[in-house]
Structure 1
Amino acid sequence: MATINFYLDKPDKKGFAPIHLRINCNRSQIKLSTGQKIEPKYFDRNKQRATGLDVESHEINHYLDFLRERTDELLHHSNKKTFVQDEIKSILNEHIENYKENNSINIIKEQLSLYGKPFTFVDLFAGAGGFSEGFLQAEFNNKFFDFVVANDINENCELTHLVRYNHQLGLDAAFLKQDITEPDFLDNLLEKIDGRKIDVVCGGPPCQSFSLAGKRKKFDKKDDLFSHYLEVIKVLQPKYFVMENVKGILTKEGGKIKELIIKEINSIVDTKEIPLLNSFIKKIRKESNSFLFDCILKRVELEILLEKNKESGREDFIRFVENGFKKLTPKIADYKTSKTDENINTIRHGFNLLARTKEWDKLKRDIIREKDFCNIDSDNFTDTFTDFLTEIGSENIISKIENSFKALKVHANYKKDCEDIITALNIYTTSFDESIEILKSHCTISQKKELDVILKNIRLYKIEQPFIANASNYGVPQNRERVLFIGCRKDQKYISEIPPTVSEEEKVTIFEALYDLDFIGNNQEAHRYELVDISKQYNGTAKKMAKLLKKRSIDGKLNSKNGKSFAEWSKKGRLSDRFKTQTKPFYVKSTEGLKNGEKYFDVLNNHKTSNQNDIVIERLKVILKKGNYRLAQPELEKLGLATNKRNYNVLKPDQQSSTIMTIADDYIHYNSPRSLTVREMARLQSFDDSFVFQGKRSTGGNNRKTEVPQYTLVGNAVPPLLARAVASEILKYIK
């Protein structure tokens, strides 16, 4: 058994004594300099710790604890039992050197402009940063991307961003930790952008947020994130935007959701062209129907308003329609009826509700947040909450107003005036495109042709159909299909698809991605790489397995001359020399740990297996042997190893994995009965090994609603190599 101690050497001329690490084992001794110095009066020799409550003492003690932990792990908990002194020194010095290089953060304001003019991008719903990572890797003809802002609502997403982009890479990319639905989100985003023009916006609003207007039943926190995403696009007006989602979005609600998304994107207008449309509306405005034309004009003018002025603009619209009703009231009801009739009061009070949409939306958001916090779902409370949230929605209020008009006994002379008020209110809730359809219904054939020419110029983005991208076509060892909506501003080249970077035969296999990490067993953690000898590990199939290793370019193209295997690229990193890293990769447990300097500098991070009991291991052995969970079930029943678990995915070394999700226990390693580590899942997603996932490794139960641990960060991410292909295609054509 080895003993591990720290002691002070002689002080230097300034009075600072070097701290040394000493290992005693079987009468042999190893001494190593930790690279830290301290005044002897601030070092407790008995406890072997720095004294005092300042940040510097805290960091020194964390560092000494880290070295003790790694030394103990090496000598007492590794598979190897015999070491030579130089081997121990070499391994520990690697940890020490990593710490020495981390003296301070040096944020680079410009990402080396000598490489050309950068194009800016913003990453919304950023999560771990898959889009960000891929966009930073992309380069084409001296063009590249400059990272401005990322956004997500979770603290661990922010922590992973801070460590990777601010500390490690030294970039000045900001992070906005805020819900996109909050009223001041856009103001805060613009503050972070600080006046810079944004060329590209990327992000994927969660698929739960897509629903047909007026058809929402669930009212969860993800409701309507898509419309807020588009609000950002309307304000920033980037040259391109990329929206990523699951394949199921194409068939959701019979394909109506896909059509709604395209319709909403087509409704984003070039505000510079609005005056031309207004002139057209005024030109064809009919005195006999001036009220309705004025409403259409006001609706169109809402598109020009800045976000901070839109609420007052919407209220002004409602008050304009309300004023039309006030003028109509004496014609359709006597004085007494107008004050006491339930239908008249419903219409009158409905206008008040609509005029305060901002306040009701805030209340709705707070209720949804509380409902979610209290787990109100599939219980006797759900319908009550849903009914109330439905009641205060604009569509429902307008529906009640419409029914009240129908219930009134209105003289035939004024029925059209009533219908115009209802149409005006419907204009209030419609998209720009739907408002134009109402306008078209009042146009002659020649006027419609004139309007179509105006509309062609007024639409800011070109998009026809979304594109299905399989990550395996871009050098990712995973069959992950995602839908991409690529919006192209009208002054930019249209992009309808992303060409594959690899052919079917060239696709990266699981073995190529993971073989060099296969030195870890059940309930183990590794902090450095170990040599994997394929010939010993695979015996009779060694040649077959070795053939799976292919030399490639970064994007997966075969390159036998000076390429590297996928695993080698993962170790080296796929970012270009444009990035001068400020520190070695490191891990912290929390935001507080980052503030206190509690950094863990390891050569290899996030490589820890789950602690699975003997029964689970036996179950996994049977499934692994059969190669398929369904085929293994009869034998599992026979052996008393059956489980209610819905599925296990057995990895096939010569194939690509299925879509990587957020639960590691759903996968069985191709060579041993165990689940995957975070690092292995990250490899299957095409993250570099230098990209460290921060915070908790996993979570469970209700914590899954609020926490985003490492496994969730990895599973929900856009594969960086897929994002790289998208970014490279944009760089080819962007003006």
Structure 2
Amino acid sequence: MPKPLTFIDAFAGCGGLSLGLMQAGLTGRFAVEHDSFAFATLKANLLAKQAPFKYSWPRWLPKEPLGIATLLSDYSEQLAALSGSIDVLVGGPPCQGFSMAGRRQHDDPRNQLFAQYLRLVEIVRPKIVLIENVRGFTMDFAVGENVTNYAAALKEVLSDDYEVHERLLDLSQFGVPQARTRYFVIAVHVSVTTADPFVLLESRIPSFLRSLGISAPVSSSNAISDLEVSRCGTEPSKDTKGFDQIAYGQPLTRYQKLMNTGVTPSDLRLARHAEDIAQRFQEIINISHAEGRLNISISNEVRERFGLKKKALRVLDPDRPSPTITSMPDDLLHYSEPRTLTVRENARLQSFPDWYSFQGKYTTGGHLRKKEVPRFTQVANAVPPLVARAIGEMLVALMAEATKAPAFRSEQSGLQRVHKDAEVFAEA
């Protein structure tokens, strides 16, 4: 019986990538996440004694929020001792500076965390590097008179020791009920294999979906119809006084059964919409259905009619995957009920199982938006676990095939250059 592949999750967020890889049979050594809310979610789900999946956490690392810079400075000896023993280093460094949803900023300090990620690559020397980010990461940025492309720079840094493969993936093809396109890099050490992992990944999608008992695409109603208030009713919120929540019944579809597994979901708290707001929402829902304008922003005419400044407001199409989930809970209206979605409904659209609970504030605002990662943001920023699971199963198959070839050699040839390039990259 081969040993499970091991991984470290840098910039782990609330744990979507880690969870999916663990579901695929990989062993998580530890995760790096600086935000206290997101780390609380990790701890509640992937470090608890009763957790179905959990990290094999090292004794030398505290189970607390930690930034990657602190990890590199305070635990350099322990990281060096891991050199060559970790199969996969994964991470989704903060994407706000690259996101198409807002103004892309090349000088956003969160972008500079890529240099620290590359430093971690140099120290740990994993067999595989897996990176996920938004589509905007592949765009050119004007920096003075020069043009910088972070994706191209990343590939150049890694290419000395790794075969670097990249792909924009539509995540709905993996059964995620969301039309979400993300940029992935899978860099495989040259001594392991030169095979394109994305070709293998895409060839395995049909069997992956069959193993789960679902087919793709999964529509919004297929994912969340068992959470309709009109079907379930409401009850007082179990975690927030003064709020109501959905009184859950039972799953109705194959996807819902895959997500639920017989548990009572958490994070069902409903927003408190004033009566006039709910009435406005219902009119917008009716108009959007009548005009066939679902999953896309409401028209200028509708915005003017209701005096709305918000341009991103959309109504879910019940018959198609949802648009990309964002951290703003009022960006998306339910397909039939005059309300925004709950954290749990967003989590369903991101393919988080119902037993996975979220911690911390529900929302935040103002200057705290760059400092805190509340529940809605945790869910929106996550890698959907179903996608991570599919990638994890592919990596297991890839490495199993590679073991038939000469054993992996953790050579240092070009890795000495990685740190130097990382410093240049940080200054880009």
Instruction: Give the TM-score normalised by structure 1.
Output: 0.45
Q: Which residue of 1 aligns with 2:187?
A: 487
Q: Which residue of 2 aligns with 1:169?
A: 51
The Cα shift of 1:257 comes to 2.8
> SS of the residue aligned with 2:168?
strand
1:205 to 86, 90, 93: 93
Q: Which residue of 2 aligns with 1:614?
A: 275
Q: Which residue of 2 aligns with 1:261?
A: 154
> SS of the residue aligned with 1:207?
coil
1:501 to 187, 205, 223: 205
Task: Tell me: CA distance 1:715–1:630, structure 2 relative to 1, closer, same or farther (3 Å).
Answer: closer
Q: Which residue of 2 aligns with 1:516?
A: 226
Task: Tell me: CA distance 1:148–1:192, structure 2 relative to 1, closer, same or farther (3 Å).
Answer: farther
2:28 to 124, 147, 152: 147
Measure, in 2, the Cα distance between the counterparts of 1:199 and 1:684: 30
Task: Tell me: CA distance 1:124–1:155, structure 2 relative to 1, closer, same or farther (3 Å).
Answer: same
Whichever residue aligns with residue 284 of structure 2, its letter is I
Bigger share in helix: 1
- Is the contact between residue 526 and residue 608 of structure 1 (CA under 8 Å) also seen in structure 2? yes
Measure, in 2, the Cα distance between the counterparts of 1:489 and 1:258: 18
1:673 to 313, 327, 338: 338
The Cα shift of 1:238 comes to 0.8
Measure, in 2, the Cα distance between the counterparts of 1:671 and 1:483: 32
Q: Which residue of 1 aligns with 2:168?
A: 468
> SS of the residue aligned with 1:149?
strand
1:157 to 33, 38, 42: 38
Measure, in 1, the Cα distance between the counterparts of 2:362 and 2:44: 16
Measure, in 2, the Cα distance between the counterparts of 1:263 and 1:147: 28
Task: Tell me: CA distance 1:209–1:186, structure 2 relative to 1, closer, same or farther (3 Å).
Answer: farther
Once the two structures are superposed, residues 244-290 of structure 1 have per-residue CA deviations (whole angstroms, 9 ceiling, x without a partner) of 11112222236733221111112xxxxxxxxxxxxxxxxxxxxxxxx
- Is the contact between residue 125 and residue 204 of structure 1 (CA under 8 Å) also seen in structure 2? yes
Measure, in 2, the Cα distance between the counterparts of 1:663 and 1:631: 16
Measure, in 1, the Cα distance between the counterparts of 2:303 and 2:97: 40
Measure, in 1, the Cα distance between the counterparts of 2:120 and 2:64: 14
Report whether the alignment pairs 1:568 with 2:270.
Answer: no
Q: Which residue of 2 aligns with 1:121?
A: 7
Task: Tell me: CA distance 1:224–1:626, structure 2 relative to 1, closer, same or farther (3 Å).
Answer: same
Whichever residue aligns with residue 220 of structure 2, its letter is I
Once the two structures are superposed, residues 100-142 of structure 1 have per-residue CA deviations (whole angstroms, 9 ceiling, x without a partner) of xxxxxxxxxxxxxxx752111001100010110110111xxxx
**Aligned counterparts, 1:380-529, within 5 A:** 459-463=160-164, 465-493=165-193, 494-497=195-198, 498-499=201-202, 501-502=205-206, 506-519=216-229, 520=233, 525-526=244-245, 529=248
The Cα shift of 1:228 comes to 1.1
- Is the contact between residue 93 and residue 111 of structure 2 (CA under 8 Å) also seen in structure 1? no
**Aligned counterparts, 1:54-133, within 5 A:** 116-133=2-19
Task: Tell me: CA distance 1:154–1:630, structure 2 relative to 1, closer, same or farther (3 Å).
Answer: closer
Task: Tell me: CA distance 1:511–1:218, structure 2 relative to 1, closer, same or farther (3 Å).
Answer: closer
The Cα shift of 1:234 comes to 1.1
The Cα shift of 1:206 comes to 2.2
> SS of the residue aligned with 2:265?
coil
Task: Tell me: CA distance 1:496–1:218, structure 2 relative to 1, closer, same or farther (3 Å).
Answer: closer
Whichever residue aligns with residue 123 of structure 1, its letter is D
Give the paired residue count. Answer: 357
> SS of the residue aligned with 2:69?
coil
The Cα shift of 1:667 comes to 0.6
- Is the contact between residue 223 and residue 255 of structure 2 (CA under 8 Å) also seen in structure 1? yes
2:23 to 137, 152, 157: 137
- Is the contact between residue 472 and residue 656 of structure 1 (CA under 8 Å) also seen in structure 2? yes
Whichever residue aligns with residue 690 of structure 1, its letter is W
The Cα shift of 1:178 comes to 2.4
The Cα shift of 1:651 comes to 0.6
Whichever residue aligns with residue 273 of structure 2, its letter is Q
- Is the contact between residue 167 and residue 184 of structure 2 (CA under 8 Å) also seen in structure 1? yes
> SS of the residue aligned with 2:86?
coil
Q: Which residue of 2 aligns with 1:283?
A: none
> SS of the residue aligned with 1:466?
strand
Report whether the alignment pairs 1:728 with 2:423.
Answer: no
**Aligned counterparts, 1:245-256, within 5 A:** 245-253=133-141, 256=149
Task: Tell me: CA distance 1:176–1:485, structure 2 relative to 1, closer, same or farther (3 Å).
Answer: farther
Measure, in 2, the Cα distance between the counterparts of 1:605 and 1:673: 21
Report whether the alignment pairs 1:605 with 2:258.
Answer: no
Q: Which residue of 2 aligns with 1:243?
A: 131
- Is the contact between residue 492 and residue 733 of structure 1 (CA under 8 Å) also seen in structure 2? no
Measure, in 2, the Cα distance between the counterparts of 1:632 and 1:480: 22
The Cα shift of 1:218 comes to 6.9
**Aligned counterparts, 1:273-288, within 5 A:** none
Q: Which residue of 1 aligns with 2:366?
A: 701
Whichever residue aligns with residue 161 of structure 1, its letter is L
- Is the contact between residue 148 and residue 193 of structure 1 (CA under 8 Å) also seen in structure 2? no
The Cα shift of 1:694 comes to 0.9
Measure, in 2, the Cα distance between the counterparts of 1:263 and 1:717: 26
**Aligned counterparts, 1:581-660, within 5 A:** 603-627=264-288, 628=293, 633-634=300-301, 637-638=304-305, 641-660=306-325
Point out where structure 2 has 5 or more consecutive residues left out of the alignment.
58-62, 99-103, 142-146, 236-241, 404-428
- Measured on the aligned residues, the alpha-carbon RMSD in Å equals 3.0
The Cα shift of 1:634 comes to 3.2
Once the two structures are superposed, residues 187-240 of structure 1 have per-residue CA deviations (whole angstroms, 9 ceiling, x without a partner) of 427637974821101111223568xxxxx9875431421111111111111111
Measure, in 2, the Cα distance between the counterparts of 1:630 and 1:661: 13
> SS of the residue aligned with 1:118?
coil
Measure, in 1, the Cα distance between the counterparts of 2:224 and 2:40: 26
Rg larger in 1 or in 2?
1
Task: Tell me: CA distance 1:490–1:707, structure 2 relative to 1, closer, same or farther (3 Å).
Answer: same
Point out where structure 1 has 5 or more consecutive residues left out of the alignment.
1-114, 139-143, 211-215, 267-458, 535-548, 550-564, 574-584, 586-602
The Cα shift of 1:696 comes to 1.3
Identity of aligned residues (%): 30
- Is the contact between residue 88 and residue 127 of structure 2 (CA under 8 Å) also seen in structure 1? yes
Whichever residue aligns with residue 128 of structure 1, its letter is C
The Cα shift of 1:518 comes to 0.9
> SS of the residue aligned with 1:683?
helix
Structure with higher RCO (Cα < 8 A, 6+ apart): 2
- Is the contact between residue 209 and residue 224 of structure 1 (CA under 8 Å) also seen in structure 2? no
Measure, in 2, the Cα distance between the counterparts of 1:169 and 1:672: 34
